[in-house]
């Protein structure tokens, strides 16, 4: 009986330890430091020059430097805009800093500002 008692206590102890693992994992995750934003987010803008603004088509043509977050070399290309109001901020010839993403395979400017 003594041997059975030790096995039972070991089984109950092991089950109790396993049941606390998810709570411990959640507590560890909550205390983890914040992740740095990915390149190309609001913290890191790319440089470019506005070549054309197409308000009707909700598009902008930019000659840009490397887009690190999209792994793209410098080139001139057409982007959609996430918000048509972004196009009111710029005109052809403006030097800009911008962020772009590729949701659903559509290259999109999500932020744009005049460069100083």
Query: pTM higher than 0.75 for the full model?
Result: no
Number of domains in the chain: 2
Q: What is the pLDDT of residue 43?
A: 54
Mean pLDDT per 10-residue section of the chain, whose length is 116 residues: 50 47 44 40 80 98 95 96 96 97 94 92
Same domain, residue pair 73 and 104: yes
State the CATH number of the domain containing residue 105. 2.40.50.320
Q: According to the model, what pLDDT value does residue 116 have?
A: 77
Angle between helices 2-19 and 21-31 (to 10 degrees): 30
Judge if 73 and 19 occupy the same domain.
Answer: no
Q: Specify the pLDDT at position 7.
A: 52
Give the domain range for residue 56: 46-114
Look at residue 39 and tell me if it is in a domain.
Answer: no
What pLDDT is stored for residue 95 in this prediction? 97
| pLDDT number for residue 64 | 96
**What distance in Å separates the CA atoms of residue 98 and residue 113, rounded to the nearest whole number?**
6
Does residue 105 lie in a domain region? yes
């Amino acid at each position: 009986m003594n041997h059975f008692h030790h096995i039972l206590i070991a089984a109950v102890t092991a089950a109790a330890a396993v049941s606390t693992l998810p709570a411990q994992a959640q507590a560890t995750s909550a205390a983890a430091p914040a992740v740095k934003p990915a390149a190309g987010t609001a913290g890191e803008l790319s440089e470019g020059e506005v070549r054309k603004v197409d308000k009707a088509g909700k598009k902008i043509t930019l000659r840009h430097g490397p887009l690190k977050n999209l792994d793209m070399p410098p080139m001139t290309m057409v982007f959609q805009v996430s918000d048509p109001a972004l196009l009111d901020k710029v005109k052809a010839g403006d030097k800009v800093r911008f962020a772009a993403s590729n949701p659903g395979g559509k290259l999109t400017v999500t932020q744009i500002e005049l460069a100083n």
